[in-house]
Amino acid sequence: MMDKLKLGVFELTDCGGCALNILFLYEKLFDLLEFYEITEFHMATSLSEENHYDVALVTGTVSTQRDLNLLKEARNHSEYLIALGTCATHGSVQGSVELPIREKLKAVYGDDGNPMRALDSKPVVEYVAVDFALPGCPYDKNEVYQVLMDIAKGIEPVRKDYPVCLECKLNEYECVLVKKGLPCLGPITYGGCNAACIRSGLGCIGCRGPLPGEVNPASEYEILKDLGYDDEYIIRKFKTFARWEP
Amino acid sequence: MIIELREFTRVEGNGKAEIVIEDGEVKDVRLKIIEGPRFFELLTLGRHYYDVPDLEARICAICYLSHSVASVLGIERAFGVEVPEEIALIRELGLIGELLESHALHLYLLVAPDVFGYPDAIRMATKHGELVKEGLALKAFGNRIRVMVGGREIHGINVKPGGFGRYPTVEELERVEKESEALLRLARRAVRLFAQLDPYGAQAKHFVATDGYLWGEKLVSDEEGAFHYTERIEERSLVYSFAKQSLYKGEIFFVGALPRLLLKSEMLTPAAKRLFEEHREKLETGYVSYNNLAQAIELVYSLERANEIAKTLLDRGIEGENVPVEPREGEGIGYVEAPRGVLIHHYRIDANGNVAYSNIITPTALNHAMMEASLLEEARKLYGEAEERAMIGRLEETVRAFDPCISCSVHLVKL
Ligand code: SF4
Ligand code: SF4
């Protein structure tokens, strides 16, 4: 049996969901452990003994100097680094609070100082080069399983290239945008969640970020305007998970 | 001299502590929440109410549904909306799913390794595989309920002001009824295991909880009369932590499973109540470490209650009708018992349905002072007596007893 790959999970500032989702793999986690040894995963283990990782998963945004140091540490000591989750790939919700950090701190903590060295929340990809980016708030857990399996087998993981809309069609879900007039970002959002929210009869809020390439945010914008949503509402919606210009 | 503890492991989020030693004695302990701030209150300002619960859910993954429900309750109260029993029961079922998922994660994967002397559950599984599997079974069941009610395992958007996007089906409820019964045996075993542990940490003197078992209109405490948080709870900022600290009438207090049991034991289901009575004396000492025993008893409660709710809903049949929500200017507070304690969402909403003010106080923020007090107590007991490593290990366990959710504590507050 060949040596197992060393896997590190590094959590920057976030909700914990992208790290937790790994534990939610249940039996599949044990399948992964046939190929990987977890040597850093601070939510799940008190061990922390390695300083070299074959694969590093980084979740969360860089929101403090500590986060930035940890991210550099992870990058410098890993072969293959995956920005995992929309926080890491696009900044997610905390990245959408657009005020200078000092003003934010003042509004919430009521002082002008910044003793803990907070930074404006930015995605991991703005600070270091990543080998793979897997968005989702949180990402679909089967996707991370597939990506890690591919890497273990020496295959470069593939990026999906279709919007959430396609998954609605495959599941034969009724279109909530056309049929109910709900503000659904499915047509321009990166697919891979199996249209989870449309299954509930609700509109996609864009948690996986924009589908790169061919999509047409301008036409989505027009559709929402025609449905009677005002400019500010639409723009805020576009900007919630990824800083997306219509 | 200052002893720096490294970052806590097997807790959710990022935090650490410092022990201040002066003249050979432990002078002070500082619990530092170093997780970066996420500014959720600012995020929701000016947002249309309909979108707010989905954003607030992102505060915490382990208890996202508690945040969705607290947010929805705050919004509905601001608009004067009342929901029928069916919707209330389904929400409660969702919260129970979350309690199961979160307590199982906490007890079996994060705390049990301390009990058996392993660094984590994966390594513990080599010798205690059965136990880990039992924990995972409970957790997976809780998560299935979260998917059913919340829409996804993590950050679903199904819970809405006035009702749900999608209602549970008969088949799903039948499954809940069956599985909750089958799992009860495992939960009882957890109670036996956690009842054996010796107490540590500080003894809490004040307890606070919501007036209903899993949510309420107001808060209750060990004193007379229900109250709103603004009447007795105060928050203050600290220079060394991104989490604020709260006090109850100027004193340290405790929220969580243990306070729930102590303040609301008469609301428990039959088997849970019997277990509570059996261990009452221990629990009443108020040691924070008995929070883990209380959590195990709540596993039993949750399974029994899930069974009751599924039966009730199956008997009456599901109508699946949402209540219409008309935005108007108003103010409302949602109180929910997240798995780790009282959670408060307070909003003011303008005539267009946009949020004008929001204040969110999470259980870990409420417990911050109690955690520091417990660390101080343990450090005083162990400093000079135990090896530094052993002392640090025990201090970490003390933090873990709270079931802290550090990401959620990072806040948050008045504008
Ligand atoms: S991307 Fe979403 S689920 Fe993942 S850590 Fe960030 S907020 Fe949590
Ligand atoms: S439907 Fe949209 S909001 Fe829902 S999980 Fe998929 S990408 Fe995220």
The mean predicted confidence, pLDDT, of chain B is 89
Helix axes B85-104, B121-150, angle to 10 degrees: 170
Q: Is residue B33 part of a domain?
A: no
Q: Does B13 touch chain A (CB under 8 A)?
A: yes
Q: Over B22-46, what HEC string results?
A: ECCEEEEEEEEECCCCCCHHHHHCC
**At B2, is the secondary structure helix, strand, or coil?**
strand
B396 neighbourhood in chain A, CB within 8 Å? 46
Separation of A204 CA from ligand 2 center, angstroms?
5
Ligand 2: which residue has its CA nearest to atom 8? A207
The number of distinct structural domains making up chain B is: 1
Could you tell me the pTM of the whole model? 0.92
Instruction: Return residue ranges of chain A for CATH 3.40.50.700.
Output: 5-153
And the tokens for A56?
């590093």
Band (pLDDT 50/70/90 cuts) for residue A96 is confident
Q: Is residue B219 part of a domain?
A: yes
Q: What is the DSSP string of B305-368?
A: HHHHHHHHHHHH----PPPP----SEEEEEEEEETTEEEEEEEEE-TTSBEEEEEEE-HHHHHH
Separation of B373 CA from ligand 2 center, angstroms?
42
- B332 lies in which domain range? 41-369
Q: How far is CA A199 from the centre of its chain?
A: 21
Q: Is residue B116 part of a domain?
A: yes
**At A95, is the secondary structure helix, strand, or coil?**
helix
* pLDDT above 70 coverage of chain A, percent: 91
- CATH number of the domain where residue B50 is located: 1.10.645.10
**Is residue B13 predicted with pLDDT exceeding 60?**
no
> What pLDDT is recorded for position B341?
95
Q: Does B10 touch chain A (CB under 8 A)?
A: yes
Residue B145 counted as an annotated binding residue? no
Beta strands in B89-184 (DSSP E): 159-160, 163-164
**Is residue B9 predicted with pLDDT exceeding 80?**
no
d(CA B367, CA B201): 13
Among B19, B6, B24, smallest CA distance to B376 is for: B19
Q: Is residue B13 part of a domain?
A: no
A23 neighbourhood in chain B, CB within 8 Å? 105, 109
Q: What confidence tens digit (pLDDT) does each residue in A201-227 have?
A: 999 999 999 998 767 788 889 999 999
Report the residue among A162, A197, A215, A240 best suited for mutation to probe ligand 2: largest number of ligand atoms under 8 A from its CB.
A197
Q: Which of A196-200, B191-195, B385-389 is least confident?
A: B385-389
> What pLDDT is recorded for position B238?
67
CATH level 3 topology of A5-153: Rossmann fold (3.40.50)
Q: What confidence tens digit (pLDDT) does each residue in B74-83 have?
A: 999 999 999 9
**Is residue B406 predicted with pLDDT exceeding 70?**
no
And the tokens for B233?
């709870």
d(CA B51, CA A171): 25
Please state the ipTM of this predicted complex.
Answer: 0.92
Q: Is residue B153 part of a domain?
A: yes
Band (pLDDT 50/70/90 cuts) for residue A34 is very high
> What pLDDT is recorded for position B403?
67
Q: Is residue B308 part of a domain?
A: yes
Report the residue among A141, A175, A204, A244 best suited for mutation to probe ligand 2: largest number of ligand atoms under 8 A from its CB.
A204
Residue with tokens 């709870």: B233
Look up residue A243 and give its DSSP letter. Answer: -
Q: Is residue B105 part of a domain?
A: yes
Q: Is residue B14 part of a domain?
A: no
